[in-house]
């Protein structure tokens, strides 16, 4: 499903951002969009969080069900 792929991409972006925060104390999203409190940054953080919640559903789907939707 398209939404599954979008959610995975956003979750990966979030994971890479958290990795850079943990390793280098550098928030890529905040750097790109002008700070953590910038409305665009907050939208990105929210979308990443929602994508992560969506990805939880991927854990509980059967492999056959996922193949049928593709």
Extents of the domains making up the chain: 2-69
Q: Taking the complete model, does pTM exceed 0.85, yes or no? A: no
Residue 59's H or E segment, with its range, is helix 39-59
Instruction: Report how far residue 32's alpha carbon sits from residue 10's, in angstroms, rounded to the nearest whole number.
Output: 16
Does residue 18 register a pLDDT over 80? yes
- The predicted pLDDT at position 12 comes to 97
Contact indicator for 28, 15 with CB cutoff of 8 Å: no
Query: What is the overall mean pLDDT for the chain?
Result: 92
- The predicted pLDDT at position 64 comes to 65
Instruction: Report how far residue 48's alpha carbon sits from residue 41's, in angstroms, rounded to the nearest whole number.
Output: 11
How many CB atoms lie under 10 A from the CB of residue 4? 17
Instruction: Report how far residue 1's alpha carbon sits from residue 68's, in angstroms, rounded to the nearest whole number.
Output: 10
């Amino acid at each position: 499903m398209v939404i599954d792929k979008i959610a995975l991409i956003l979750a990966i972006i979030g994971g890479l951002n958290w990795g850079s925060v943990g390793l280098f104390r550098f928030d890529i999203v905040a750097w790109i969009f002008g700070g953590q409190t910038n409305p665009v940054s907050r939208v990105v953080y929210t979308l990443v969080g929602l994508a992560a919640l969506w990805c939880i559903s991927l854990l509980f789907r059967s492999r056959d069900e996922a193949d049928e939707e593709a």
